[in-house]
Structure formats: structure tokens, C-alpha cells
Chain A
Amino acid sequence: MLMFILRRILQTIPVIIGVTFVVFFIMQLVPGDPAVLLAGEGASKETIEAIREQLGLNQPLYIQYFEYLTNVFKGDLGVSLKNSQPVLDEILVRLPITIELAFFSIIITIVLGMAAGIISAVKPYSLTDVSVMLVALLGISLPSFWFGLMLMYFFSVKLQILPVAGWDSLLHVILPAITLGAGGAAIVARMTRSSMLEVIRQDYIRTARAKGLRERIIIYKHALRNALIPVITVVGLQFGALLGGTVLVESIFAINGLGRMIVDAIRMRDLPMVQGGVLFASLIFVVVNLFVDVFYRFFNKRIELN
């Protein structure tokens, strides 16, 4: 197990390097000369040349890349073109907000998704099951920006029980977290249901019945624990999708998180900021995947060895 964790951590190193590589080349792919962009409109040839010199843009690409890599490892992500503040400082302000949003959203995904899946699986093909699965199907197909706006309209504009936007209190978290978590909840619900139905057919469930246990205990004690093992992977994948979703949801609900920062930076053509934001988002993704893998392995060990 320890070996596995160690190996898994080592495996992330090439991935992280790959990420920096991609992020670095975003800069190269942007049409136009970065030095011209940085200098702003109407800058003189000398200024542009000076910037180019200063940023090492005259160097061959691979040297530029290694320079970038060393800087990243030193914690230097460059400065924002907008306000000349270090990119890292801005990210460190924004990151906790996004993490908070993601945390509450994944809680909604897990709790809502699993509960719905279990309710469905206990009485398959019943009216409850069919309705829950229909809602889940809707949840998967609805675009989240539309869903978010709908929630905002009902709860904030019509009923006026929840704030429209912003990020000041826990109340502000509710709607964005639901918007962001709903799609994942729908997927987790479907996965939980099918996994439960699969587990219920197993021999050890028959053994539990033969013992005279109540249906409730058979479901929650004997079936659920086994059924949730594959669901963990799905939750992990959903977490990745959810991180992508923060970009949209933060924009809809005017939350100053990392996602919105990246969008704003793109709009402003603030390239160092985009680079830094994407780099961090990718790192979170890699770390979350690492956790999911280790977690899954831990739960799956006994089944694999069977």
C-alpha cells in the first residue's frame, strides 16, 4: 500500500511537468508577438525590443521553457499585465474561494447523488425509481448556466430567500454549490443505482438474507459498502468536471474565485495570469486524482484479492 502511494506520487511528477509544458506553450500559441502585447499599443520599437530582451524572448524556445520551469518551481509565476502584481499573490487570494465552492459542490454531488441512487435501487422499476432516474437524466442534460440562472430567478428574485450573487456568507454558497454539484449528483445517482442493483444479486447478499437479517440492514450494511466502491471513482471524475464548471458558475454568480479570474484574464489578454491560473487548476486536478486513486485502491484491495 505504501509502495503504491509512493509510486503514485512519483507518477504525478511527469504529469506536472507536462502541465507546465502545455501552459508554457499557451503563450506561444497566442497569435501575435507577446512582447508587442506586453508593451501595449503604440509602443516604440525600442520598448518592444527591451521587453523582449528582458523576458528572454530572444532565446531559443527550450531555454525559455527551462527558465519558465525554474521560475515556477521558485514560486515565481510572473506579474499580471493588468496591475503588475505578482500572479501568485492574486491566485492565493482567489484559490480558497474556489476550493470552498468546489468542496460544498462535491458534498452536494455525493450526498444527493448517493441518496437518490439508493432510493432508486431499493425498489427498482417502481414509480419512485423511475421518477428519480428521470430527474437524474434531466440533471445530466441541463446546461448548468441555464440551471444556475433558473435557481437564481426562483430563489433570489422571486422568493427572495437567497442572495443573488457574491460570496459573503454561507447563504451565498447554496445556489452556486447546487448549480455546480447537480450534474455530478445525477451521474453519481445513476452509478449508485446500477452498482447497488449489481451488488444485490451477489451470493453474499443471499447469505445475509439466509441469516434472517432485515432488508434495511441488508441494504445499508451488506450491500451499500460494496456498491460504493465503484462510485468513488465516479466521484473522483466528477470532481475534475466540477473544477472546470467553477469557471462558469463563478461567472454567473459573480464569485471572485480562480475560475472567474482565468476568464477575466483571458478577456484582458493578461497572459501570465492565464498561465498561472491554468497551472493551478491543473495542479488541483492532479492532486485530487491522486487522492481518489489511493482511496479507491484502499477500498478495492480486498475485492481485487478475492
Chain B
Amino acid sequence: MKERNKPILEVKGLKTHFTTKRGVSKAVDGIDFTLHKGETLGIVGESGCGKSMTSLSILRLIPSPPGKIAGGSVLFKGRDLVTMPEDEMRKIRGNEISMIFQEPMTSLNPVIPVGEQIAEALRLHQKMGKKAAWDKSVEMLKMVGIPSPEKRAKQEPFQLSGGMRQRVMIAMALACTPEVLIADEPTTALDVTIQAQILELIKELQTKIGMGVIMITHDLGVVAETCDKVAVMYAGNIVEHASTEQIFADPKHPYTQGLLNSLPKIHEDQEELITIDGSVPSPYNMPAGCRFASRCPYAEDICAAHQPDLVSYSEDIKVRCWKYTDKWTGKRDKEGVV
């Protein structure tokens, strides 16, 4: 993939920490990625690895306290969102950068008609009049495939099914034609057919308005279908970053390899799902070395001692693993490791 001029979103060394009674949880611990116009970046990783917190940090929506952006920068068209004054940040939220949340059932206000929930953003950011904003929100509902949108717009969320609510969320996020859309598991709560429709819809709109999309998911099928490039997250870090083809054809990081191995393979008659043994380290107590070391089949002495950096393996591939450095000794058969 060719680097297209300047990225619209550039995340550098982003850290988000939660200070609680148990200590400091390093939920996001130094994340770097870039997003260009019209591009889709997938972020994948197990539950709790920090995907949602990364995306909430970009819009500065981390619940605070206990959360806090502890370091790094988020450059949006060259301006740093982390240090931007709140009232300027508000002009970007929902207007230039929008977000679809993971929880469609609870993310809509239960006592406000859904049409109004879309229209208020239009009145605010696009300075539309009451009537124009309402008409536009009905139009948005129609566009996301909600039947009889005039009627639905006047209804409250409890009158809508889960699939429809998620469509409303999408309509809301897209109403102001944002330049960046962050979609946090936009389809997890939905059944397969609706899931496909919604992904199709996002893609369609993306080509139409050329927005950059960050697609957060733990479904590698969704990644294969929609993403140009993928960042694999593990315990608050990115462990591998490469184009989608590259990731699927030749994953470098042992964790990525494990993830792909755990996919059911349709063409081989293999019934059993392979899962990665062991568990993720606690974000309150991260090991000093590689965070995947306790589960990694290749781990060597250096892995437990020092954390590897995210380094370029080739022009397009970045990986955080000692195996791909010249510090690697190559003796794989360590005691106690399968």
C-alpha cells in the first residue's frame, strides 16, 4: 500500500491509565498508528486489551476519574486533540470524528425520540433549522435501511429492535459526514444478515464521502472483509501492524499467529478450535518483559527480561517481538515450553 500524502489521524505514543484503589491500570500503554482518507484500519485483539479505551481516548471520552490520558498525542489534521481546549474538542466530536459504540442497547437515550437524537447534532454542527434537521435525520434513517423512517423517527428507542438501534447509531454517527468514523464492534450484537448489511453500508458511505474508518472488532472475518490494514493489540500495546493481506498470509507476531490459528478453518476438516493457552497479564501489574511471554511458545530469556519495541520488519510490517531482532538467539526448545 502506498503512503498517501498526509494522514488525517496520527496517534503517537498514546497512553490511557486508570487510577483505582487497586492501583494504576495501564489500559492503553503507548499506541501508535495512522489513518488516511478513505482508509480502513482494523484494530483487533482479545477482550480487555484496550481497543475501546484507545478509541474513547481519541475523542477524549474516557470516564474521568478514574481514567486519564497519561501521555502521547492524537494529531487530527495536524492539531493535537489531547491538549485541545474543551470547546474546540466539542466542535470535532460528532462532526469531524464520530463514533459508533459497542453497546447499541444502552447507547441511545431512552426518553428522546430517535429522530431528535440525530437531529440535535445537525442543528448544532451544521447550523440547520429545526425542520431541515428533522428532514435530514429522517433521510439518514432511510439511508441506513430503516423501513418507514418518518414513523420510526418519532419513536423512542424501546420501540426499536437491537438491529434498528444500531442503525440509528450509525445514522447518528454519519449525519454530519465525519472525516473519521470510529466503529467499536458495530456488529457484535447483531445477527449475521444484519451484520453483513451494516458493514456493507459503512463501506458504501466510506467510498461516497471518503472518510477514514477505524474498525474495532475481535472478528477476523470482519477484518478480512473491510480493512485495508490491521493493528493487532495485546495488553495495551500494538504487537503487529501490517496490511490485511499480509496479516492473513504471513502473520509475524506469535500472538497474531495464535489468533489466526484459533479461526475455524472451513477447508480443513478440523473440528476443534485451537485457542491460545494461558491468560493476559493484569493491566495493574504488567510484566517487565514481553507481555505475551507467559503464553508464547517461542519465549526466550530476553523475552521475560526486556520488553521489545514495535519495530519495522519491512516497509509495511511493524512487529513487537524479539524474534525479529538481531538479539534473537534462535534456541527454541526451552524447558517447560511446548
B partners with A? yes
Contact B156 A302 (CB under 8 A): yes
Contact B92 A306 (CB under 8 A): no
A208 is an interface residue with CB less than 8 A from chain B: yes
| Residue interface mask B47-69, A partner, CB < 8 A = 1 | 00000000000010101000000
Contact B94 A306 (CB under 8 A): no
Contact B108 A204 (CB under 8 A): yes
Q: What's the interface size class on B, roughly?
A: 20 to 34
Which residues in B have their C-beta under 8 angstroms from that of A212?
90-95, 121, 124-125
Measured in the bound complex, the distance between the Cα atoms of B61 and A206 in whole Å is 7
Contacts A302-B111, A302-B158, A305-B158; is A203 near B93 (CB within 8 Å)? no
**What is the CB-to-nearest-CB distance from B23 to chain A, in angstroms, rounded to a whole number?**
22
B157 is an interface residue with CB less than 8 A from chain A: yes
B107 is an interface residue with CB less than 8 A from chain A: yes
Chain A residue nearest to B118 in the complex (CB): A211
Contact A306 B93 (CB under 8 A): no
Contact A202 B106 (CB under 8 A): yes
A209 is an interface residue with CB less than 8 A from chain B: yes
Contact A210 B93 (CB under 8 A): yes
Measured in the bound complex, the distance between the Cα atoms of B333 and A300 in whole Å is 63
Measured in the bound complex, the distance between the Cα atoms of B112 and A305 in whole Å is 15
Measured in the bound complex, the distance between the Cα atoms of B172 and A208 in whole Å is 11
Chain B residue nearest to A200 in the complex (CB): B63
Contact A211 B101 (CB under 8 A): no
| Most chain B CB inside 10 Å of its own CB: which residue of A201, A203, A207, A303 | A207
Which residues in A have their C-beta under 8 angstroms from that of B99?
210
Q: What's the interface size class on A, roughly?
A: 20 to 34
Q: Which positions 127-161 of chain A face chain B at CB distance < 8 Å?
A: none
Measured in the bound complex, the distance between the Cα atoms of B3 and A40 in whole Å is 107
Which residues in B have their C-beta under 8 angstroms from that of A82?
none
Which residues in A have their C-beta under 8 angstroms from that of B110?
204, 226, 302-303, 306
Which residues in A have their C-beta under 8 angstroms from that of B125?
212
B139 is an interface residue with CB less than 8 A from chain A: no
B120 is an interface residue with CB less than 8 A from chain A: yes
B109 is an interface residue with CB less than 8 A from chain A: yes
B150 is an interface residue with CB less than 8 A from chain A: no
Contact B158 A213 (CB under 8 A): no
A222 is an interface residue with CB less than 8 A from chain B: yes
Contacts A206-B101, A210-B93; is A201 near B63 (CB within 8 Å)? yes
Measured in the bound complex, the distance between the Cα atoms of B121 and A214 in whole Å is 11
Q: Which positions 234-277 of chain A face chain B at CB distance < 8 Å?
A: none
Contacts A305-B158, A306-B105; is A226 near B124 (CB within 8 Å)? no
The residues of A with any CB-CB pair to B shorter than 8 Å are 201-204, 206-214, 217, 221-222, 225-226, 299, 301-303, 305-306
The residues of B with any CB-CB pair to A shorter than 8 Å are 59, 61, 63, 90-95, 98-99, 101, 103, 105-112, 117, 120-121, 124-125, 156-158, 169, 172
In the assembled complex, 12 residue pairs joining A and B whose CB atoms fall closer than 8 Å, in A order, are: A203-B101, A204-B109, A207-B108, A207-B109, A208-B109, A211-B120, A212-B94, A217-B120, A225-B112, A302-B111, A306-B106, A306-B157
